[in-house]
Amino acid sequence: MCIRDREAEADAPPVLRRFSGTVELDGKPVVGARVDLMAPLLASAMTDATGAFFFLAPVGTSAIVKVVPPAATGALAMIRGVQVTDPSRIRVFYLLRASDAKALEAFGLTIDPTKGIVETDFRNAQTGGYGVTLKNASGTVSPGFGIAFDATESPVLSTVTVTGGNGSTLLYGNVPTGNVSFTPTVPGDAGRPCQPCDAPELPIQAGTVTWFDFECGSATDCR
């Protein structure tokens, strides 16, 4: 290959791929939610009558998406990362009601509106004991509290998932704002490591749920 050919390749526009998602609340589509593509490009869309949206982004990049639901839903905004692959699976944004977060105060917790919430899903996890370490440029970020879910899907205070529980979901509350990375802590009997499925770093914003997926089962394909 000559130098001119290499220069032409360097100047070639990135290959864009479509990735899509849907927004749900209590199992129903959320219509008219604003969806902002925060990286690697800037764009906005609204969910349609089925709660769906889509964007175009360069293949191989990590897209960061924020959903802002209509105020009438009473739901919190949510941020997720998406690996733009070919093909790419549809991401579902399961929104959390502000009242559900407020209900956690029954545990004696105080919800700080100036901080964020992190929801981590350990997909296909077979045991309890999974957690996540959050880090920013200054070091480890400590959440104010953790919530896991037991076998009846009732919330319990814990910074790791509960053995015998419904397996995968963990909430951290009162997380300081800013960009953070996500590193899983995996129990010794897990059998295999967890693979990150989202952007390596995501923003934490006040009053917003930031959701991060890990794949912890036999499959390693997060698409």
Extract the residue ranges of the chain whose pLDDT is less than 70. 1-11, 164-167, 189-191, 218-223
What's the confidence (pLDDT) of residue 8? Answer: 47
Which has the closest alpha carbon to 34: 85, 84, 95, 81? Answer: 95
Which has the closest alpha carbon to 220: 184, 186, 195, 190? Answer: 195
Q: Which residues pair with 195 in a beta bridge?
A: 215
**Rounded Cα distance, 156 and 190, in Å:** 21
What's the confidence (pLDDT) of residue 11? Answer: 64
> pTM score, two decimals?
0.89
What's the confidence (pLDDT) of residue 101? Answer: 86
Q: Give the model confidence (pLDDT) of 21-32 as tens digits.
A: 999 999 999 999
What's the confidence (pLDDT) of residue 219? Answer: 57
DSSP string covering 22-76 = EEEETTEE-TT-EEEEEESS-EEEE--TTSEEEEEEETTSEEEEEEE--GGG-BP
